[in-house]
Structures are given as C-alpha cells and as structure tokens.
C-alpha cells in the first residue's frame, strides 16, 4: 500500500532524517584503520540509546534473513555491498566500507547509506577505481533525487540512476533497491535502480522514499555470505552504496537525511 504524508507529517519526519545523518557522520569519522566493525556498531547503538530512538535493524527478520539481524548498522567491506553484518574485523588501509543505517525517531523512520575508503589505497589505480565506483553511486543518487518530483513516475528515478551507472560502465542488479519509508523501514513503492522512464507508480506530493543506488565494479551478481546476511559480489569485485530518504513535495524533492 502506498501512503502519502501530509506536509506536517513530512516536518515530523525531519528529526529522524537529521539523526540518521548525525550517526552516519559519527560512524564515518570513527572508521579509521584498526577500528573494529563491532566498535562502529556500538557507537551507533550508544547514540540510539542517548537519543531515545529505535533501531530498525536489531530485530529485523525478513524471509531472506537467516535470523534476526542483531546489530544496528550494516557494515559492508570491499566485496560486500549490502546488509553487511558487523563482525569482529579491524578495518585495514584501503578498505572500501559501506555503512547503511535506518532508525525510527518519534515513530518515523529514516534510512541512509554512504561508502568511503578507509585510510589510503595501496595503489593509485585502486584509489581511482574506488573513487569512481563510490562517486558513481553518489552521482546516480543525485540524478535519482532530481527525478523525484510530482508529475514524474518511479521509472523516471530508475532510468536516471541506470543512465549514470551505464555511462560509467557498471551493470545493475535489481534484486534490491529503493522503497517507501514511513512508520516502517520498507514500504511501497519499490524503486528499482533500473527501469523505463515514464513507467511505474506516479510520484505524488507526500510520497517519501529511500533512493539507493548500489553498484559492483565488474559484475551484477551477488551471493549471501555464510553469516546469512552479508551480500557479496560473485566475482570478488568491490561494491559501493549511496542512499537518502527523500520526501516528494509540490516544490520538489526534500532530502531528509542530508548530512551537514
Ligand atoms: Mg538503507
């Protein structure tokens, strides 16, 4: 079911979006060479408690998950790209880390993700390849957001994202993509990272969606790690992921999870 939010409800969603941005900024800052993924999860957990917010992940147990997630952030390193389950791993120089975070504040959810390189890449070639991959997810996200306006359709967002990916030479996996966000983390409509312009659900003022391009360097195939959650590239190539929660309004898109 598609739910549309009133302008007042969209205002009420802003604190959740701001808080998600604050946590991602703090986690990014803390993610240095030698930092353990479990420390990053603990940092986010502390911030959630202090804020009186509610994790969307810790009890999350969808049909594709082997067990409840049990952590409050997703940490996907190198060939991992989505749903990375934080585990006992100290970050190394040149790791490509994607952090995904969704939380409810006062009953409203916001969802956002960011990717970055920890420390220094071992070679200039590796640095350039990672930079291109990360930057492409960011530019695709910006293109998707720009298409998130009344009068357009979901397919316009999908096509805008896909155009950026294809121009950069990446293929797209449409198994996981954007989604409606509101009282819960995942609602309708599904917002695929590839699709045909002018098709799909009409974008109306009050629709709040997460837009989340993610690409892998040299494949569009993924598999699930033995941990039951982490999604990795089939060929070991690296992945990156950028996501914002966006409210579609009469005046255009509002990025609720913008980071300062
Ligand atoms: Mg997310």
d(CA 243, ligand 1 centre) in Å: 6
CA angle 139, 141, 142 (to 5 degrees): 65
What is the band of 44 on the pLDDT scale with cuts at 50, 70, 90?
A: very high
CA-CA distance, 37 to 233, in Å (whole number)?
20
CA-CA distance, 3 to 119, in Å (whole number)?
42
Residue 65 confidence (pLDDT) above 80: no
- The mean per-residue pLDDT over the stretch 151-169 comes to 98
- The mean per-residue pLDDT over the stretch 31-37 comes to 98
d(CA 100, ligand 1 centre) in Å: 5
d(CA 14, ligand 1 centre) in Å: 16
Q: What is the pLDDT of residue 254?
A: 98
Q: What is the pLDDT of residue 235?
A: 98
- Parse the chain into domains and list their residue ranges: 7-255
Q: What is the pLDDT of residue 60?
A: 87
Four-way CATH pick for 7-255: 3.90.230.10, 3.30.2320.50, 3.30.2020.30, 2.60.120.10: 3.90.230.10
d(CA 124, ligand 1 centre) in Å: 30
- The mean per-residue pLDDT over the stretch 74-91 comes to 98
d(CA 102, ligand 1 centre) in Å: 6
Residue percentage of the chain with pLDDT more than 90: 94
d(CA 185, ligand 1 centre) in Å: 8
d(CA 72, ligand 1 centre) in Å: 11
d(CA 195, ligand 1 centre) in Å: 20
Interval 164-219: pLDDT, tens: 999 999 999 999 999 999 999 999 999 999 999 999 999 999 999 999 999 999 99
d(CA 126, ligand 1 centre) in Å: 26
Please provide the average confidence, as pLDDT, over all residues in the chain: 96
CA-CA distance, 23 to 254, in Å (whole number)?
19
Of residues 52 and 66, the one with the higher pLDDT is 52
- The mean per-residue pLDDT over the stretch 77-90 comes to 98
- The mean per-residue pLDDT over the stretch 139-153 comes to 98
Q: What is the pLDDT of residue 119?
A: 96
Residue percentage of the chain with pLDDT more than 70: 100
As residues whose CB is below 5 A from the ion ligand 1, the structure lists 100, 111, 113, 243
CA angle 45, 100, 181 (to 5 degrees): 100
């Amino acid at each position: 079911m598609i739910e549309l939010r009133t302008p007042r409800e969209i205002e009420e969603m802003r604190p959740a979006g701001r808080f998600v941005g604050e946590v991602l900024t703090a986690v990014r800052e803390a993610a240095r060479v030698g930092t353990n993924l479990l420390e990053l999860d603990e940092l986010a957990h502390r911030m959630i408690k202090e804020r009186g917010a509610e994790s969307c992940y810790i009890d999350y147990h969808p049909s594709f998950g082997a067990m409840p997630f049990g952590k409050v952030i997703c940490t996907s390193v190198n060939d991992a790209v989505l749903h990375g389950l934080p585990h006992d791993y100290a970050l190394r120089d040149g790791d490509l880390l994607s952090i995904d975070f969704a939380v409810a504040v006062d009953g409203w959810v916001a969802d956002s993700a960011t990717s970055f390189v920890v420390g220094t890449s071992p070679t200039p070639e590796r640095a350039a390849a990672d930079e291109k991959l990360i930057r492409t997810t960011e530019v695709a996200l910006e293109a998707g957001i720009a298409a998130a306006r009344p009068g357009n359709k979901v397919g316009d967002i999908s096509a805008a994202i896909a155009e950026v990916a294809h121009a950069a030479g990446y293929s797209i996996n449409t198994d996981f993509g954007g989604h409606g966000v509101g009282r819960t983390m995942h609602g309708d409509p599904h917002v695929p990272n590839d699709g045909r312009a002018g098709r799909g659900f009409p974008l109306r003022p009050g629709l709040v969606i997460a837009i989340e391009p993610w690409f892998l360097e040299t494949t569009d195939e993924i598999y699930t790690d033995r941990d039951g959650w982490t999604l990795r590239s089939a060929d070991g190539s690296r992945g990156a992921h950028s996501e914002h929660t966006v409210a579609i309004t009469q005046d255009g898109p509002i990025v609720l999870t913008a980071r300062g």
